[in-house]
Amino acid sequence: MVKTIETNVDAGAERGFECQLAMSDQFRLLTEFAERAGWSWDEIAIALLELTDDYVSAMRTPLEAAVERAKFVPKSNTRH
């Protein structure tokens, strides 16, 4: 069962810290589940880092593509 992570963050609040607080209980449950399954703390940490890297790459790709499209300036077909 997936638990919804609620947010009550103001636009001016420290969003990174608030995000950590919102996810901390679920993070703790995830790591406890992995430990009970027999994974060591360093294996869990490495797996989480790699999953985070994959997530960042997946999120960054569309953004970077949009930035490149915004920079694109078509060349004129006329000679100067």
Per residue of the chain (80 residues), what is the pLDDT tens digit?
Answer: 555 666 665 666 688 899 999 999 999 999 999 999 999 999 999 999 999 999 988 888 777 777 777 777 666 666 55
Distance CA(55)–CA(57), nearest Å, equals 5
CB-count exposure of residue 3 (10 Å: 0-12, 13-18, 19+): exposed
Check residue 6 and give its pLDDT: 63
Check residue 59 and give its pLDDT: 84
Distance CA(3)–CA(26), nearest Å, equals 8
User: Would you say 35 and 41 are in contact if contact means Cβ atoms under 8 Å apart?
Assistant: yes
Helix (H, G, I), strand (E, B) or coil at 42: helix
Check residue 64 and give its pLDDT: 77
Q: pTM value?
A: 0.62
